[in-house]
């Protein structure tokens, strides 16, 4: 498939925003359990603002993928059957809940509404955070299922696609939370950094599993089945046209296999070992900049990973258009 930059930025930006919100709320839960020092409302408010900014930037990027942006509202009309429509509905809900979470902390709405088991105070920020967490995971599923539900693109049609989108978003979000904490001199940097490493390692497992699965795929469509000739050796010599077309622009990346391999090694390096090493080094020297560098490198790697994710999917129509004489 042709990797559209607008969709690459959409999925990576909103993933990081979702992950950052989950990190902030996780930190609040640990503080309620007396496992972490409590933070002021400004910490959660500014963090939520950053998460909201990423979600907005992702939404803006998606408009560049539309042929008629003024009709974007129609994308929500098929919510009963379309995962894209569900994403269009859930994304604004997540944005509203993230904004409400930050605003509630900024305004100091932390007076308990009730107390569970005589020990757990439930305030508005906790309720909004729980709703935001549910909506965030729903958005991960909706975004991933847009691709995982496409049966004829066998590289995508797997539960691993949902796992990868979710874990990559959580990893980048917690990495950003570590960078945010380190830059502000907050003691939670170790907590967020540790969970970022855990999520990154889990993402590595699922991504390697996905790569292994895709390498073993035996596609149902072949040149033989496409033209009805059952000969063992059917080799395409031309695409059937002298120039480019909509098909070659939208359904084929046009890059050599060597380029795909290089991009794969690039993101495997940037997303996984380098950020982990930088976070580990930050623990040792208490650097406020290394966690920032870890997030930046990982996010650049995620852009390459998402490009590879789209490029490695083989659309059946490329049986006709994959070669130019």
Q: What is the pTM (predicted TM-score) of this model?
A: 0.91
> DSSP secondary structure string, 76-121?
GGGTTT-HHHHHHHHHHHHHHHHHHHHHHHHTT--S-SEEETTTEE
Confidence (pLDDT) at 68 = 67
Instruction: Pick the closest to residue 257 from 218, 311, 187 (CA basis).
Output: 311
The dihedrals phi and psi of 154, each to the nearest 5 degrees, come to: -65, -25
Placement of tokens 């605003």 in the chain:
103
Confidence (pLDDT) at 63 = 80
Confidence (pLDDT) at 281 = 94
Question: In angstroms, what CA-CA distances link 60 with 90, 106, 218, 257, 266?
Answer: 16, 26, 38, 32, 27
d(CA 123, CA 113): 5
Domains belonging to the chain, first-starting first, are: 5-214+235-321 (1.20.1630.10)
d(CA 26, CA 39): 12
Which residues sit opposite 120 in a β-bridge?
116
Confidence (pLDDT) at 325 = 42
Instruction: Pick the closest to residue 139 from 220, 214, 54 (CA basis).
Output: 54
d(CA 254, CA 197): 35
Which DSSP state fits 33?
T
10-residue block means of pLDDT along the chain (325 residues)? 86 97 96 90 96 96 72 71 91 97 94 74 91 98 95 90 97 97 91 97 97 86 74 72 67 78 95 96 89 97 95 76 56
């Amino acid at each position: 498939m042709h990797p559209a930059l607008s969709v690459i930025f959409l999925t990576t930006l909103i993933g990081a925003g979702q992950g950052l919100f989950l990190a902030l709320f996780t930190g609040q839960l640990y503080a309620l359990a007396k496992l972490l020092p409590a933070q002021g409302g400004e910490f959660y408010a500014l963090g939520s603002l950053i998460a909201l900014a990423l979600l907005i930037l992702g939404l803006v990027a998606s408009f560049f993928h539309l042929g008629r942006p003024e009709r974007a509202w129609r994308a929500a009309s098929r919510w009963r059957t379309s995962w894209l429509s569900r994403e269009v509905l859930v994304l604004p809900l997540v944005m509203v809940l993230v904004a409400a979470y930050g605003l509630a902390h900024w305004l100091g709405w932390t007076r308990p509404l009730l107390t569970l088991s005589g020990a757990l105070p439930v305030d508005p920020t906790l309720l909004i955070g729980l709703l935001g967490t549910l909506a965030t995971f729903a958005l991960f599923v909706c975004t991933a299922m847009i691709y995982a539900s496409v049966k004829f693109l066998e590289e995508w049609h797997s539960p691993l696609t949902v796992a990868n989108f979710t874990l990559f978003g959580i990893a980048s979000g917690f990495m950003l939370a570590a960078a945010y904490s380190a830059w502000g001199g907050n003691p939670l940097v170790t907590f967020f950094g540790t969970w970022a490493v855990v999520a990154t390692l889990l993402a590595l497992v699922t991504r390697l599993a996905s790569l292994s699965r895709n390498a073993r795929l035996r596609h149902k469509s072949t040149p033989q089945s496409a033209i009805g000739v059952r000969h063992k050796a059917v080799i395409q010599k031309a695409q059937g046209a002298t120039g480019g077309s909509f098909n070659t622009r939208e359904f084929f990346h046009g890059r050599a296999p060597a380029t795909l391999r290089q991009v794969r090694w690039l993101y495997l390096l940037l997303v996984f070992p380098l950020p982990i090493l930088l976070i580990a080094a930050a623990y040792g020297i208490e650097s406020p900049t290394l966690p920032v560098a870890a997030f930046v490198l990982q996010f650049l790697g995620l852009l390459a990973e998402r490009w590879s994710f789209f490029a490695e999917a083989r659309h059946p129509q490329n049986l006709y258009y994959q070669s130019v004489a």
